[in-house]
Structure 1
Amino acid sequence: MKIFWISTVFSLLFFSSYSQNHQLSGTVTSEKGEPLEGAYIAINENYIWTSGAGRYSTTLETGDYNIKVTTLGYQEQDTVISIARDRQVNFVLKASVDDLGEVLVKGRQHQQSTQQKLRVEREYLEQEFKGSLASSLEKLPGFNAMQIGAGASKPIIRGLGLNRVAVAENGIKQEGQQWGADHGLEIDALQVEDLEIIKGVGAIAYGSDALGGVVQINNNRVPVQEGLSGSIYGVGQSVNNSLGTSARLTFKDEHWFAKGKFTGISYGDYNLPTDQISYLNFNIPVFDHSLKNTAGKEVDWSSQLGFITKNFNSSLTVSRVYQKSGFFPGSHGVPDIARVQRDGDPRNIDLPFQRVAHFKVLSNSTFFLEEGRLELGLSYQDNHRQEWSLFHTHYAGQEPPEVDPNLELDFSLKTYSIKSTYHRAFGQQHKTQLGIDLQWKDNRIKGFNFLLPEYSSGNYGLFAIHEYQPSSSDLWSLGLRFDYGNFEMSGFYDPKLFEYLIENGQNQNTASNYAQRSRNLERDFSSFNLRLGYSHHFNEYWQGRANIGTAFRLPTAIELGANGIHHGSFRHERGEPGLEPEKGIMADLSISYAKETWNVTISPYAYYFTNYIFLKPTGIFSLLPHSGQLYQYTASEALLSGIELQLEKTFASHFRLNVAGEYLYNQQLTSSASRNFPLPFTPANNLFIEAGYSVLNDKVFISNSEVTVNTRLVMNQDRIAQGEDTTPGYQILGLGWHGEFQLGSFEAAVNLRVDNLLNTRFFNHTSFYRRLQIPEPGRNIQLNIKIPFGNTRL
């Protein structure tokens, strides 16, 4: 019997050595230990993806396996692993050349991608925070911010802004009143975990509004460490006496994680490097160099609950962003010196002001299937934006509303979205994405003024993106998308305006046309588009990318149906119900060089539009009282082109140099060459240069310490659209220092920065206040401190 059992055991061992399957598992993380969700792992001819916690697991027979690990924004790892037992292998990926950490450019680009993409991490945003998300990204090539005072801004990519740049959170497009140049993004800039700026073929997955590109925000990261962790971030600015704090708390165990975030910011009237502005032939004093009623506040919160397993992960996010900010009194109505007198409280938010509350519920789930993965995103958004101004009437006998008499404009936009994408790899050469993108919007209005009618719309898209890699040096990508949209707008008739015009001598036909502020409208739109991309590694150091394709954008409600005085833009704006979708052809090229201490990228691009939609002065004075010239939404052939430069050089490991530049050229193309004006809201050509030098890093308690000096050079903007003013060029200087402290278990990251060091008086051509001849804020000293706790480390 003893011999029998010994024989049996040896037989089982012998059998299992040939037939037993073994488990290979582990994690894929960044160099900072952050899990990389959706990383692609090729094991010979099989393919798997990491879960939300960066984990992977598969069963393999005994043998040797070639394993490649890749994900967007990181360098590929290629290795051979022998399997004779259960093994755990963890992969740590290095950031690629397009990542932005503490410096502008970091690492090398070895990963094949046809997209032009920049990846920005949370640490960079915290260090570069300038009061709003778009302003914090202005160091990037081809990226500008449309400023709205000192506390809000909107992104401009390649000279395209407003409804031509899509902003998405966890894959779902953010929806508000994007058409407005007088308010910013409803995004908590201090709680963005990381983001990507996407250009090229990949932007086709986001459909209309992504002509310039996509600002893709990822707030769905699984915490790295198990247990309780978090951080507290504080910021102070001198230019507007801003004080803010942002706190983050996370918890994670094996299968569950939870996050709680809070941000509160309060700021006062911001300082100007001037004591007088001139607008509409009025000389308006700026008392104590402080622009009255530009104070504001922001209160944001977010909570997230997530579940992670080997084959499935899911998260539910609920958030609310609340912003309230004042308008300079001269920006609404006729300038009045009495209205700009100081009220003794620089933090007082008086009439006129705006406020917005953006409530959002996001559900994101990923199913890891045997041969691919399926991503599903669901969202509900409630964007409620208001403009408040002291009730005023241009008609005799008009009484203020009984409820909220000073509520001038009220837009309540509700958006429901579904987006689902299936990812599948076919061998080592082919990868495919198939997606469906559905959205439905409903906008209600209130207020004593009329600008935009009530409407509802639906946008329904199908898309496919395929990548083909015939060799290790070449990659092709093809993106296809079909969109169908329907739009329903409600009519609005203004009898008081009719009576006013008749009393002022207009005939009944003219008065009736003006009084019909909007008409019932039903429109259907459809569009099929494709984009082709190619990437080639010439050698270890040189890489090229090229993209070409069609571009489209569905007309918006403001472009189709606006008809009223928009005090925020200082004019009477009128839509055109017959506008067709914006269509055109887009092409870009990128050449990158990365060797040792050099990283250089040059990216020329061109867009041709058959019907670029923009707001154009008609040369006709509006009959609406106190309205000035009538501006009409119209379409024209147009050309937009430019070139972007990005350079980083490191000297002797202690000194670095960053350069980001942009040249833009665009114009309308009409039958009359003398009428070929440039397009509106075009940023001036600009160059940003920053030098950094590592200091004090030999001290025991200081690390990652660096002193920086920077300058921004902006050319004259004398190529202007109708109705715009030329803007002189300028140069501003800045200084900074950042570092990390550690004393025992206490850690802190500190950033001290001085912007506009010489208190230079300058104008931003795309600023909201440019029309009022109001310069940008003066010298600003800013201090940021971040303190982690629990299991969090800097």
Structure 2
Amino acid sequence: MRNLFIAIALCMVGIGMAQNQVAGVVRTSNNETLPGAHVHLSQFSQPTNPIGGFEFNHVSDGKHRLVVSFVGYKTKDTILDVTQSVNLELILQEDQQFLNELVVVTNAQKQIENISRVSQKQILENYSGSFALSLAEVPGVNASQIGAGQSKPIIRGLSANRVAVTENGVKQEGQQWGADHGLEIDAFNTEKVSVIKGVGTIAYGSDAMGGVIAIDNTAVPADSLTGVVNLLAKSVNDGYGANVQIKQKKNALYYKLNATFLDYADYKVPTNQIQYLNYLIPIYNQRLKNTAGTERNFTAQVGYVNNKLHSFIQVSNNYVKAGFFPGAHGVPNIGAVQPDGNIRNIEFPYQSVNHFKVLSNSTYITEKGEFSLNLGFQNNHRQEWSKFHTHYSNQLPPENNPDLELDFKLITLDNQFAYKHKWNALQQTKVGLQYQYQQNKSTGYSYLLPNFDRKAFGVFATHEYQLSSRLKADLGVRFDYADLKIQSYYDQTLYDYLVGSGKSDALANYYALRTPKIDRTFNAYNFALGFNYVLTPKWNVNFTAASNFRFPTAIELGSNGIHHGAFRHEQGDANLNPEKGWAFDAVFDYQSDRFALAFSPYLYYFTNYIYLKPSGQFSILPHGGQIYTYTQSEAILGGFEIKATQKITDRITAESVFEYLKNQQITANRNLNYALPFTPANSVFAKVSYAFGDTNVFKNSKVYFSGKYAFEQNNIAQNEEITPHYTTFGAGINSTLVIKNFKVHAQLTATNLFNEKYFNHNSYYRAIQIPELGRNIQLLLSIPF
């Protein structure tokens, strides 16, 4: 017995002595830390923390396989002989063959999410004039284009307030509901982007039921001063622009500066006339008049980083001024589209948007956990200018800014706190609190959106559990509460007009109360469950199921006016309930040395989807037309995405993407089960690229050809038009030119190569028969220093 105790004691001592710590940091070849890289050490695995670090405890003596990977970088795979605690510095090199691919990534380190990751280099190589359009090659992602310089993202047919866009954890807030309202994000200032499809509600709350586009600008720069100058030129709108980025780290402090200037003229379309409201409107010289614009963006970030703390503050200002095609703003006016001899001027009507933002992000890392605090202030100021015109004979122009039709000032304050606790190598829990306050003020000689104040509170918890070396489960729960106070608006001008037109006092009073006082509170409980299973070293399966929700917005509850940007009279419903539903998402992912396949089916069910429905009643507002009322019904949405990538040879790579989506409302009358509005057409995309060998001067050279076929979109909402099928082609070549110490990366691309006349079902101008942009030749030069 005594010998047994001695043996046990020696064994325990041996085990204790054999428990080591393996820690380190993952960096890029530019010496920047790489948060979110995946580090696997035998049976242990974890993503690197916000400062690129990782830490494994209780590692036994012996040889362990160490694998470090991140999308767009070459995987580091080696054997680590552990005899004592070690601290590693791991450098990942860019994978030039892989950087052009936008690949779906599912992995066991993320919570109940189907993620596509896009690097800044990929954003620039797919740059098409705006941030959202630059993501259009991600499977399941489309964009609603607003002219040549602005757009908003669509994920699986859901957009506007159903898709959340975040920067460093704080949700971008503006007038997302408008069809003519773009996204004020500088595509040149997006270091990494994660497109979360399916279930985003647990971590992000309301407005994320369709998905999340998360921008991460938290990379810590290298110690030396580095920077890049990007120069841009486009043929379709004679556009040009420049972007300058400067960054440096010195000891624990660092800074990053980004400035972008863009200017573009009226853009070209492959047609000489359009038909709108039975008017034939000429398009002179195939240029859409008054679609010129300008953009000025500036961002500054100052941070502090050490082994435990990463904290920074970021200040940015995005300004956009762009014209509206005058032949489609309100009643068609053929005279307004006559050429004025200047394709770069911006006349009435036009929009100007200034988005000022201050973000603060702090992460503190302990041995067992991670604290994070995000603070945000946003001031989104949107104006729509149009020469004063009135539909009422008794309305006089305002004394100040008489041509300011609509003026929206939205202020948003965000506070977010989260704590992640690592119980052991197999389990971790994250809890979070979120609070948001919004105030909107609306003025102008027209009326559409009421003034409102909104407060929202959310609390969530997630738990990750590695059940085995192959199976991981994630569970999330969340509670949200919102209080919305909408001010009433009485239109005295409308009352006087109606009484003057012979209407009774009671009827005039009824219609003059454009928006009643609305005081609503909402709450929602939600949960999500996800599994990730590694079938084989090459096959991986990810499945998520979750409830989701979205609180109705002020525009859906209290709007009542002519929305010229959407070409209709829109009317809210103060009795709308929160959207609720269920979402199911799966990914079957196969990866080998030369072939990759991702198949992602999904199904969403909504118990009370909110949409604009033609009411069948005509507006009492002069020239108001038919009233479109926000209403609710059951709805179902389903489809799948398939992406395949094949390295045919070491130099030739082919990829293809097939997207299928179908949805419809569910009502008691099957004849009224229309599709949901703005549903993207099913499509097939293919690209073949060829990589040249390096020379003394030209490095990483590649040429590609691409084509897209969009099926006819006849699955349409009420009062939408069928959009014909179309085929477009593109091509591009890029290379890095190196002469001694001078380096420049050049990429020349062509879209709509054969100047095809086609319609995008999601385009802002689709409703008025304006086709998509004509052929565009674009040159982008990137000069690092």
Q: TM-score, normalised by structure 1?
A: 0.92
| Runs of at least 5 residues in structure 1 that lack an aligned partner in the other structure | 1-17, 790-794
- Residue aligning to 1:792: none
Q: Secondary structure at the match of 1:471?
A: coil
CA contact under 8 A between 2:47 and 2:109: conserved in structure 1?
no
Q: Which residue pairs with 1:777 in the alignment? A: 773
Does residue 608 of structure 1 match 2:621?
Answer: no
The Cα of 1:46 is off from its aligned counterpart by 10
Distance 1:59 1:725 in 2: 61
Q: Distance in 2 between matches of 1:509 and 1:400?
A: 27
* Residue number among 644, 660, 663 corresponding to 1:647 in the alignment: 644
Give the Cα separation in 1 of the matches to 2:101 and 2:321.
Answer: 33
Please give the alpha-carbon distance, in whole angstroms, between the structure 2 residues aligned to 1:106 and 1:158: 15
Quote the residue 1:444 is aligned against.
441
**Using the alignment, how far apart are the partners of 1:479 and 1:257 within structure 2?**
35
Cα 1:347/1:400, change in 2 over 3 Å: same
2:724 equivalent in structure 1: 728
Answer yes or no: is 1:226 the counterpart of 2:223. Answer: yes
Which aligned pairs between 1:223-262 and structure 2 lie closer than 5 A? 223=221, 225-262=222-259
Deviation of 1:501 (Å) = 1.9
How far is 1:679 from its partner? 0.6
Question: CA–CA distance in 1 between the matches of 2:782 and 2:438?
Answer: 39
Alignment of 1:402-417 (within 5 A): 402-417=399-414
CA distance in 1 between partners of 2:163 and 2:376 (Å): 20
Per-residue deviation, 1:93 = 5.6
Residue 7 of structure 1 is matched in structure 2 by none
Gap change, CA 1:57 and 1:522, over 3 Å in 2: same
- After superposition, the Cα gap between the structure-2 partners of 1:77 and 1:109, relative to the gap in structure 1 and judged at 3 Å, is farther
Report the alpha carbon displacement of residue 502 of structure 1 after superposing the two structures with TM. Answer: 2.5
Query: Is the counterpart of residue 82 in structure 1 residue 114 in structure 2?
Result: no
Q: What is the correspondence of 1:52-71 to structure 2 with a 5 Å cutoff?
A: 52-55=50-53
Superposed, 1:366-765 pairs within 5 Å as 366-695=363-692, 697-765=693-761
Report the Cα distance in structure 1 between the residues aligned to 2:206 and 2:21, rounded to whole angstroms. 45
Aligned to 2:508, what secondary structure does the other structure show? Answer: helix
Tell me the residue number matched to 1:326: 323
Could you tell me how far apart the structure 2 residues matched to 1:87 and 1:585 are?
46
Deviations 1:202-241 (A, max 9, x none): 5520111111110000112111x21211000011100000
Question: 2:406 is paired with a residue of what secondary structure?
Answer: strand
Superposed displacement of residue 369, structure 1:
1.3
Distance 1:749 1:179 in 2: 38
Distance, in Å, in 2 between the alignment partners of 1:636 and 1:616 is: 10
Deviation at 1:538, TM superposition (A): 1.1
Residue 12 (structure 2) aligns with: none
2:304 corresponds to 1:307: yes
Q: CA deviation at 1:370?
A: 2.2
Matched, 1:357 2:344: no
Change in CA separation of 1:574 and 1:71 when aligned onto 2, cut-off 3 Å: farther
Indicate whether 1:348 and 2:345 are aligned: yes
- Check conservation: 1:475, 1:535, Cα contact below 8 A: yes
Distance 1:398 1:259, change over 3 A: same
Match of 1:4 in 2: none
The range that moved more, 250-259 or 27-36, is: 27-36
**CA–CA distance in structure 2, aligned partners of residues 765 and 61 of structure 1:** 56
1:93-115, Cα deviation, whole Å (9 max, x unpaired): 68999x97222339996867742
Q: Are the aligned partners of 2:199 and 2:583 in contact in 1 as well (CA < 8 Å)?
A: no
Q: Give the aligned partner of residue 14 of structure 1.
A: none
CA distance in 1, matches of 2:77, 2:414: 36
* Alignment equivalent of 1:289, drawn from 282, 286, 289: 286
Pair 1:481–1:94, CA change in 2 (3 A): farther
CA deviation string 1:442-488 (max 9, x = no partner): 00111000000000101111111111111111111111111000100
Q: Tell me the equivalent position of 1:206.
A: 204
Query: Take 2:70 and 2:463, find their aligned partners in 1: how far apart are those partners?
Result: 15
Question: Which SS does the other structure have where 2:335 is aligned?
Answer: helix
Shift of 1:517: 0.8
Kept after mapping to 2: 8 A contact 1:19/1:61: no
Matched-pair contact (CA < 8 Å) for 2:111–2:464: no
Stretch deviating more after TM superposition (202-211 or 264-273) = 202-211
Tell me the alpha carbon deviations over residues 307-364 of structure 1, each in whole angstroms, 9 at most, x when there is no partner: 0111111010000000000000022121111100011110100000001000000000
Partners of 1:110 and 1:560 lie apart in 2 by: 40
Instruction: Specify the alignment match of 2:193 in structure 1.
Output: 195
Contact 1:44 1:66 in 2 (8 A): yes
Match of 2:11 in 1: none
* 2:732 partner amino acid: G
**2:6 alignment counterpart:** none
| Contact map agreement 1:201 1:477 (CA 8 A) in 2 | no
CA distance in 1, matches of 2:227, 2:631: 50
Q: Write the distance in 2 (CA, Å) between the matches of 1:380 and 1:101.
A: 34
Please give the alpha-carbon distance, in whole angstroms, between the structure 1 residues aligned to 2:47 and 2:307. Answer: 10
Measure, in 1, the Cα distance between the counterparts of 2:606 and 2:392: 42
Q: Which amino acid counterpart does residue 718 of structure 2 have in structure 1? A: Q
CA shift in 2, pair 1:50/1:713, >3 Å: closer
Aligned residues of 2:448 and 2:561 also touching (Cα < 8 A): yes
Retained in 1: the 8 A contact 2:641–2:657? yes
Q: 1:111-146 deviations in whole A, cap 9, x for unaligned? A: 677421011001011111110011111111100000
* Inter-CA distance 254–60: structure 2 relative to 1 (3 Å threshold): farther
Q: Which amino acid aligns with 1:89?
A: L
- Asked if the contact 1:259/1:305 (under 8 Å) is kept, the reply is yes
- Separation of aligned partners in 2, 1:218 and 1:100: 20
Unaligned runs of 5+ in 2: 1-15
Tell me the secondary structure at the aligned position of residue 225 of structure 2: strand
Percent sequence identity over aligned pairs: 43
Amino acid corresponding to residue 496 of structure 1 in structure 2: T
Q: What TM-score results when the alignment is normalised by the length of structure 2? A: 0.93
Give the conservation status (yes or no) of the 8 Å contact 1:277–1:286: yes
Q: Per-residue deviation at 1:47?
A: 10
Task: Tell me how far apart the structure 2 counterparts of residues 395 and 242 of structure 1 sit (CA, whole Å).
Answer: 40
Amino acid at match of 2:572: G
Q: Given the superposition, is the C-alpha separation of residues 752 and 613 from structure 1 closer, same or farther in structure 2, using an over 3 Å criterion?
A: same
Corresponding position: 1:143 with 2:138: no
